[in-house]
Structure 1
Amino acid sequence: MTGRLIAVGDIHGCHQEFADLLAQLELTRDDRLVLLGDLINRGPDSNRVIDLARAHAALPLLGNHELRFLAFRRTRDPKYLRNGDRETLDRLRPSDWSYLESMVLTHHEPELNTVFVHGGFLPDQPWAKQPASVVTRIQVIDDGRPAKRSEAPGAPFWADLWNGPPFVVYGHTSRPEVYKLKWSVCLDTACVMGGALTALIFPEKRFLQVRARRRYYP
């Protein structure tokens, strides 16, 4: 593998922190950038995040926020919207929608024995065959079913049951610190909530973080 492979956790519209992180990374043309979904929404400027991602030829993965926005655009069903979504929706440009539609569910690096995804996987099924409704949303496993941690507070996190291979790099389940296990690592360190934006740099598996400038979302 020439150059570095760099994965970045949930950005959620935090364009200044994303720009700060990119500046510290000092990307070369041999480097590759994978964004783990939820580039948009909640934070101050989703459009500028998309512009930065495009400018650096990033590979964006589909997050649950992009999935909801695309479902709403397709159906106009308000069940897909949450508080605060309208502000982001109203600002998305045609090119932004095209970018959201280009997002892929997973990225596999066989050489690193690693898969990148937004949310995670059910551990008892082939990872490559799991649908968007699972891999963008799963946090815990409640009686064999994927669920959000708020829906099943006592249920185990999917990553605690994942024994690999492959190694999984994911976001979605925000925590104050990187959550690293033998076969997985979560890079969502809650930037939009005043935490940090985290990158994982391969092949050395080194972490790089920038602190949020402030709390943007309660």
Structure 2
Amino acid sequence: MSGPAITLPDFALIVLVGDDGALRDRFARTHFDPAERAATEPGASGQEALAEARLEQRRLTLVENDRFDADGRHRWLQIARRWHAPCVAIVLEDGERLINKVERARFERIVDLARLDDPVAVTLAFEPLDEDRRTDTGPFDIVGDAHGCADELEALLVKLGHGVEWLEESAERRARITPADGRRIVLLGDLVDRGPKAPDCVRLAMAVVEAGGHVVMGNHDDKFRRWLEGRDVEVKAGLERTVEQARRESEAFREAAHDFLEGLPSHVWLDRGRLVAAHAGIRAGMIGRRSRAVKGYAMFGEPTGELDYRGLPIRADWAQSYSGAPAVVYGHTPVEDPEWVNNTVCIDTGCVFGGALTALRWPERELVSEPAHAVHYERPGKRAPT
């Protein structure tokens, strides 16, 4: 009889944990290709070198650990972080002892098979990371930072040919989107803060995903998510407006909004690898990968370590040094006119500040904009007051 089915990411560092070398070997031979096993190299240094080489090339990698001490845990986590790979522990035996150690190691996931009569009898399936959507070939309509400007977002989607309906179901308001001509909508995050209708922007984003599109996490979305969790966050920079609006919504909506935002990827890699959508940008070596560093970079860009006169971090112009093959479409920092730089383009045109909400059509590379219906929020000055 076969055991339970387990789904794992198709790009990860998988650490096989257990004292019984024969059991580890049988599990690895049953479920992994020989090329995926870094354990075939003799000695710890050989195993690490092969693991590093495979992860650099973004390949699934299996390593084996019989002595899962603090140094061993730290070593594998460090290697996974270096190559922005999820680190997954599969524990084959002596679960009580080893699971306690694994839980302290901050692995992305722990698969406990120790309680099974035969851990090898499980069925493993491998799926792409949420960030890896290369099989989605579009065509795409990629929309910049909405920041609570739901009316402009709806108008832009309609201008692009998509149908938008508002429905009332079980006393809850929701949106339904009918995509135009097989096109996929991609939203670049920062759905909330500053604008007048943040909840409706979240509803439209939910409808985008339901219609087969994509939404990536913006830094304002992440901060709102943390507020929804009851965390201690500074309610400023426009979040105060979102909080006020969210408090007028039902608890059911707030829970649904939290779950939706919590599941957003840092970026999406699309069109057979030719296109990336990220909120603030991304380095070439981070594309299609997952780590705290990737999430932070995609949400905020690259800090210089310096602050402006308002005490806000100054970000480096990462696009000037970008050398990756995929085109990168991003937002985060408002510009007056989007311009392509090293195969990247920022399409945040400051709608909430009275500019416009802009979309890029891909692969056409055509820009379509909806002018702001009002100045919803005064933009902080770029220069120090005299």
Q: What TM-score results when the alignment is normalised by the length of structure 1?
A: 0.85
Shift of 1:29: 5.7
Which of 254, 259, 264 is the aligned partner of 1:98?
259
In structure 1, C-alpha distance between the alignment counterparts of 2:277 and 2:161, rounded to whole Å: 22
Please, which moves more after superposition, 9-18 or 171-180? Answer: 171-180
Shift of 1:217: 0.8
| 1:74 alignment counterpart | 229
Change in 2 beyond 3 A, CA 1:211/1:54 = same
Which of 20, 23, 36 is the aligned partner of 2:188?
36
> Gaps spanning 5+ residues in structure 1: where?
none
| 1:195 alignment counterpart | 355
Which amino acid in 2 is paired with 1:88?
T
Change in 2 beyond 3 A, CA 1:53/1:151 = closer
Which amino acid in 2 is paired with 1:69?
F
Within a 5 Å distance, the mapping from 1:108-123 to structure 2 comes to 108-111=269-272, 113-122=274-283
In structure 2, C-alpha distance between the alignment counterparts of 1:157 and 1:97, rounded to whole Å: 31
- Secondary structure of the residue aligned to 2:332 is coil
Which amino acid in 2 is paired with 1:7?
I
- Secondary structure of the residue aligned to 1:131 is helix
> Gaps spanning 5+ residues in structure 2: where?
1-135, 163-179, 247-253, 379-386
| 1:86 alignment counterpart | 240
Which amino acid in 1 is paired with 2:153?
F
- Secondary structure of the residue aligned to 2:229 is helix
Shift of 1:83: 4.3
In structure 2, C-alpha distance between the alignment counterparts of 1:94 and 1:101, rounded to whole Å: 11
| 2:72 alignment counterpart | none
In structure 1, C-alpha distance between the alignment counterparts of 2:306 and 2:142, rounded to whole Å: 24
In structure 2, C-alpha distance between the alignment counterparts of 1:5 and 1:146, rounded to whole Å: 36
Which of 43, 47, 56 is the aligned partner of 2:199?
47
Q: What TM-score results when the alignment is normalised by the length of structure 2?
A: 0.50
Alignment of 1:131 with 2:291, yes or no, is no
Shift of 1:150: 4.7
Stretches (4+) displaced over 6 A:
145-149
Asked if structure 1 preserves the Cα contact closer than 8 Å seen for 2:347 and 2:358, the reply is: yes
Which amino acid in 2 is paired with 1:89?
V
In structure 2, C-alpha distance between the alignment counterparts of 1:186 and 1:146, rounded to whole Å: 22
Asked if structure 2 preserves the Cα contact closer than 8 Å seen for 1:117 and 1:168, the reply is: yes
Alignment of 1:24 with 2:186, yes or no, is no
Asked if structure 1 preserves the Cα contact closer than 8 Å seen for 2:286 and 2:294, the reply is: no
Which amino acid in 1 is paired with 2:207?
A
Which amino acid in 1 is paired with 2:330?
Y
Shift of 1:120: 1.2
In structure 2, C-alpha distance between the alignment counterparts of 1:201 and 1:55, rounded to whole Å: 19
Please, which moves more after superposition, 161-170 or 46-55? Answer: 46-55
Which amino acid in 2 is paired with 1:216?
H
Give the total of aligned pairs: 211
In structure 2, C-alpha distance between the alignment counterparts of 1:183 and 1:115, rounded to whole Å: 11
Which amino acid in 2 is paired with 1:108?
W
Shift of 1:6: 1.0
Within a 5 Å distance, the mapping from 1:164-183 to structure 2 comes to 164-183=324-343
In structure 2, C-alpha distance between the alignment counterparts of 1:35 and 1:49, rounded to whole Å: 10
In structure 1, C-alpha distance between the alignment counterparts of 2:323 and 2:339, rounded to whole Å: 15
- Secondary structure of the residue aligned to 1:136 is helix
- Greater relative contact order (Cα < 8 A, sep 6+): 1
Asked if structure 2 preserves the Cα contact closer than 8 Å seen for 1:137 and 1:147, the reply is: no
Asked if structure 2 preserves the Cα contact closer than 8 Å seen for 1:141 and 1:157, the reply is: no
Shift of 1:38: 0.3
| 2:147 alignment counterpart | 12
Identity across the alignment (%): 32
Which of 131, 145, 151 is the aligned partner of 2:313?
151
Larger radius of gyration: 2
Asked if structure 2 preserves the Cα contact closer than 8 Å seen for 1:134 and 1:146, the reply is: no
